[in-house]
Amino acid sequence: MIIKIIIATVLTGVLSGFLITAYELLIVFAKHIFFFGDPFKNIKKLPVWYIYALPTVAIFIVNILVAKEPNIKEYTVNKIADSIIQNKMTLRIKTLIFKIISSTLSLASGYMVGTEGPSAGVGAMIAYHIHKLFKLPKMLVKMMISVGASSAIAAIFVSPLTGIAFAVEYIAHQFLKKNIAYLIVGSVIAFSISINFLEPIYFSHSVGRNFNYKFFVASLVFIPYVTVFVYFYLFLKKRVLRFIDLEIFRNAYKYRNYIFSLIGGGVVGTILLIEPHAAFSGKEMVIYLINQQSGIGLKFIFITLILRIIGTTVSIYANSVGGMFLPLMTIGALVGYSFGIILADFHLISEPFYFASVGASVFMGVIMRLPLTSLILSLETTFDYNVVVATGIAVVTVEYIASLYFHISRKYIGMRDKIWFRKKG
């Protein structure tokens, strides 16, 4: 049995690595098809009506696919595993194909969602079918799904430790002591494949073990600064858009998805016209900010930041299929870089990219309630103690402050509020 599990784990890692790589490259290809080349260069050249029509039509198609196959919106791996064990859900190949198509349409047309949510779902589906192929005991379903999800996260982030940390904190904490070895094997194998094709998020300014207390002191000042933007994001998502969803559409809830599709298309189209860099998943923006020494204006940063916060929250409500890691990291990187610019203007610290990397990890860790994953992510992308220490202190403190006013439920991250469904039945 052990040999069979090891083979199944290795196969899950291999297939996850290749399929997630193909998924990421498919998004890049579709983006260039939709925008007739590099979107950042061509958007201003395309007709205005096309920029609005593209995200609107794309999200209408996504909503049609979601109506046909609701499971393509499900990223909560624990729920997937429990539903399978209780015979409430079957992960079909059709679901896998619809998920990839929906996510590709969402991401390539400009919606501000990430690739890790669908990737985790795809990895879970791969592992589920390998579990069936090898006829493993039903009690191992959750373990195999955890292997698939963590392998996919490791592949899409080109980061093996992040994939393992994701599994530790989000999926499989109940039985880690017994099954951690399989999670490690799957994540490492998937990473070893994806790194040959995909670009990891890296920090070129790392000073490694050289700890500088000026960054430590500045990080304490950064805590209230980033908290303001965390509150703004949560207020927009949980107060404004939820109010619209619950109250304004109370008498038209049957058409809710179509109305939000129009809203989503209009918002994304406007953002693409104002500042294309504020759209899409944001991976390029994160890499750019955490490695850019100078030359980015505060006005550009704040415009892009506000547009991304609005676009990300609207993307969720419009039913775009994608995860939240990268969009939240992008918002955090913009917040951190703006803080660094302000300090530089006062001649206190001249390295805004440090706070871009801290902000990226902290914002994601707080909103998704994944402090350990955010800490591991900061370690693996920067290998810099200054960033890791600042991230550790900030993510715990800001999460506590945010919890005083907002209830952040990990179960519903990246999804619209379930209260709406409970009220409407």
Label residue 18 by pLDDT band (50, 70, 90).
Answer: very high
Q: Look-up: residue for tokens 């505060």? A: 298
Which one, of 22, 53, 243, 270, lies nearest residue 122 by Cα? 22
Establish whether domains 2-194 and 213-424 are of one fold. Answer: yes
b/e string for 361-371 if b means 16 or more Cβ within 10 A? bbbbbbbbbbb
CB 62 within 8 A of CB 102: yes
Task: For residue 295, give both structure tokens.
Answer: 């030359």
User: 337: pLDDT confidence band, cut at 50, 70 and 90?
Assistant: very high
pLDDT tens digits for 309-336?
A: 889 888 888 888 888 888 999 999 999 9
Which is higher by pLDDT, 96 or 167? 96
Q: Which fold has domain 213-424?
A: Clc chloride channel (1.10.3080)
One CATH from 3.40.50.880, 3.40.47.10, 1.10.3080.10, 3.40.50.12780 for 2-194:
1.10.3080.10
> Which range in 160-174, 265-279, 341-355, 377-391 is most confidently predicted, on average pLDDT?
265-279
Whole-number average pLDDT of the chain? 83
What are the pLDDT digits (tens) for 152-164? 889 988 888 887 8
Angle between helices 2-34 and 93-108 (to 10 degrees): 40
Burial class of residue 48 in the structure, from the number of CB atoms within 10 Å of its CB (0-12 exposed, 13-18 middle, 19+ buried):
exposed
Domain segments of the chain: what residues? 2-194, 213-424
Per-residue pLDDT at 178 = 63
pLDDT in tens, 253-268: 677 777 878 889 999 9
**Cα separation, 322 vs 326, whole angstroms:** 10
Distances (CA, A) of 315 to 10, 191, 307: 35, 29, 12
- Distance (Å, whole) CA 314 – CA 98: 22
Among 186-190, 223-227, 236-240, the least confident range: 236-240
Which amino acid does the sequence have at 51?
Answer: I
CB atoms within 10 A of CB 133: 10
The structure tokens listed for 351 are 């390295």
| pLDDT given at position 338 | 93
pLDDT of residue 351: 82
Does residue 181 contact residue 10 with C-beta atoms inside 8 Å? Answer: no
Percent of the chain scored above 70 by pLDDT?
A: 85
What local confidence, expressed as pLDDT, does residue 235 receive?
85
Other C-beta atoms closer than 10 Å to the C-beta of 174 total 10
Q: Are 338 and 305 in contact (CB under 8 A)?
A: yes
Residue of 356, 384, 375, 380 whose CA lies nearest to 206: 384
Q: Which residues make beta-bridge pairs with 323?
A: 114
**pLDDT given for residue 414 in this prediction:** 46
Which pair of tokens denotes residue 289? 């900010």
pLDDT band with cut points at 50, 70 and 90 for residue 94? confident
Average pLDDT value for residue range 194-213: 83
DSSP string, 213-229: HHHHHHHHHHHHHHHHH
Task: Give 376's Cβ-side CA count (13 Å radius).
Answer: 17
pTM of the predicted model, to two decimals?
0.86
Instruction: For 414, list phi and psi in degrees, rounded to 5.
Output: 80, 5
Per DSSP, the residues of 180-198 read HHHHHHHHHHHHHHHTTTS
DSSP-based three-state secondary structure for 114? strand
More confident residue, 355 or 246: 355
pLDDT of residue 91: 65
Length of the chain: 425
Res 422: pLDDT:
33
Question: Taking Cα atoms as reference points, which of 276, 218, 271 lies closest to residue 35?
Answer: 276
C-alpha to C-alpha distance for 176 and 281, rounded to whole angstroms: 31
Determine which of 88-102, 270-284, 289-303, 405-419 has the lowest per-residue pLDDT on average. Answer: 405-419
- Quote the pLDDT of residue 81: 54
Please compute the mean of the pLDDT values over residues 203-219 and round it to a whole number.
81
Supply the pLDDT for residue 204: 82
Per-residue pLDDT at 107 exceeds 90: yes
